[in-house]
């Protein structure tokens, strides 16, 4: 027992030293000479304005503070005003960071997001009962960090990477019978509602259907704590947040990937977007029905379908949110590691190289000033959906609660 405690203590000390060292290096090489991380900056400055200056993070003065940090002046027409625009409990979650200099805070935030990516990868390894070789593990770890959608999220300080980690943690915890952990993780993941507006209802229906009361209680209690704390600290936060959300269309040009196809490119108008989004939603509801009422072995597939359709029809999305597609990707890698054992290392090397290079080349060839081209939003979610539909029986044959690998 003493030996195990000593070993655990040494691991904790090592991890803390690693985080401190990585934060110092990130600060000295990146965040101090090249300040930015604007997605994080808006949240950090909004939270700082509340905790230190006593301002409403959704108010005009806090918004001006954010703009002065980003532009050095008030925002001009056509520019992103950088509103706080997140649920108030985001300010509670990042509270310790507001007392640090921004360069140090953004460095630590970047390191924590990188840690979230790496931990997500290992949770997926365990979920699919896959033990890749050290070489493949190292290769996939580098891929998780330098995959275009991951790297962009790290450079922007995008909280969506944290949400992806929390969703993967919740999925892993559910299939490992850590229901209370799953409920807490899913509740905190609501700090970006557009990433969970479909998966949260699914998990709630799942918990009722299979009587997973610990998950349900943990989720509800965590949400009560988050919301109650928010209303006690900033009573008007909900109406203020919704008002800022209402301003989104004025400074964000792109909608969902479905909208990009039906409206941006084809010019068919809202009816086509609603029709295609409705068709995708119906397919998702069928997946829910199959998994919740016919066959519990289909739950993981239904979860993955739900997350994929979320990022196809959400009114607003961002490419760093696509980190969640590590979930199906690792499933297919785990499967191929068993059916193509002889050439698997070469196959995965080629796959990872292509998956890394193609999005970066796509971005570099199409980038318009500071903005991604709309086509960058399309290939990954649509191809993932097609693959999930075609390979659904493969997913159905895998039981994540057994000890059999994918």
Tell me the per-residue pLDDT of 36-83, one tens digit each, with 9 for 90 and over: 777 899 999 999 999 999 999 999 999 999 999 888 888 887 778 889
List pLDDT tens digits, range 382-404.
Answer: 999 999 999 999 998 887 766 55
Q: Which one, of 258, 301, 252, lies nearest residue 277 by Cα?
A: 258
Model confidence over 101-120: pLDDT tens digits?
999 999 999 999 999 999 99
What is the model's pTM?
Answer: 0.94
pLDDT in tens, 217-235: 999 999 999 999 999 999 9
Give just the sign of the alpha carbon dihedral 14, 16, 20, 25. Answer: positive
CB 174 within 8 A of CB 215: yes
Model confidence at 345, pLDDT cuts 50, 70, 90, reads confident
pLDDT tens sequence across 77-94: 777 888 999 999 999 999
Answer yes or no: are the C-beta atoms of 55 and 61 closer than 8 Å. Answer: yes
pLDDT for 340 equals 67
pLDDT tens figures, 169-180:
999 999 999 999
Rounded Cα gap, residues 15 and 172, in angstroms? 22
Please report the pLDDT score of residue 63 as a whole number.
93
- What does the pLDDT read at residue 96? 94
Residue 371 pairs with which residues in a beta bridge? Answer: 368
Looking only at Cα atoms, what is the longest distance across the chain? 68
Among 30, 47, 164, smallest CA distance to 110 is for 30
pLDDT given at position 82 = 86
């Amino acid at each position: 027992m003493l030996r195990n405690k000593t070993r655990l203590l040494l691991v904790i000390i090592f991890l803390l030293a690693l985080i401190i060292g990585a934060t110092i290096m990130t600060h000295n090489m990146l965040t101090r000479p090249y300040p930015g991380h604007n997605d994080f900056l808006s949240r950090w400055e909004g939270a700082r304005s509340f905790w230190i200056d006593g301002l409403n993070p959704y108010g005009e003065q806090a918004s001006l503070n954010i703009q002065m940090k980003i532009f050095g002046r008030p925002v001009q027409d056509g520019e992103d005003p950088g509103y706080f625009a997140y649920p108030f409990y985001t300010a509670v979650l990042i509270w310790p960071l507001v007392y640090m200099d921004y360069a140090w805070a953004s460095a630590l935030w970047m390191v924590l997001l990188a840690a979230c990516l790496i931990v997500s990868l290992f949770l997926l390894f365990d979920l699919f009962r896959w033990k890749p070789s050290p070489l493949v593990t190292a290769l996939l770890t580098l891929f998780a960090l330098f995959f275009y959608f991951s790297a962009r999220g790290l450079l922007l300080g995008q909280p969506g990477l944290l949400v992806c980690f929390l969703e993967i943690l919740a999925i892993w915890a559910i299939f490992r019978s850590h229901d209370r952990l799953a409920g807490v993780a899913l509740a905190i993941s609501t700090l970006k509602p557009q990433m969970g507006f479909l998966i949260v209802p699914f998990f709630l229906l799942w918990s009722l259907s299979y009587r997973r009361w610990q998950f349900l209680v943990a989720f509800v209690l965590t949400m009560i704590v988050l919301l109650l704390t928010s209303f006690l600290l900033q009573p008007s936060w909900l109406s203020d947040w919704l008002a800022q959300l209402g301003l989104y269309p004025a400074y964000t040009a792109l909608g969902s990937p479905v909208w990009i196809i039906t409206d941006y490119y084809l010019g068919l108008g809202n009816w086509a977007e609603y029709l295609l989004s409705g068709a995708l939603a119906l397919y998702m509801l069928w997946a829910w029905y199959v998994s919740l009422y016919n066959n519990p072995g289909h739950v993981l597939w239904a979860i993955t379908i739900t997350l994929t359709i979320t990022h196809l029809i959400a009114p607003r999305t961002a490419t760093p949110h696509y980190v969640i597609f590590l979930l199906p990707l690792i499933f297919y890698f785990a499967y191929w590691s068993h059916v193509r054992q002889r050439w698997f290392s070469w196959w995965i090397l080629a796959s990872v190289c292509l998956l890394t290079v193609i999005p970066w080349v796509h971005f570099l060839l199409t980038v318009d000033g500071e903005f991604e081209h709309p086509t960058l939003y399309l290939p990954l979610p649509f191809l993932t959906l097609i693959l999930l539909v075609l390979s659904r029986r493969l997913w159905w044959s895998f039981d994540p609660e057994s000890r059999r690998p994918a």
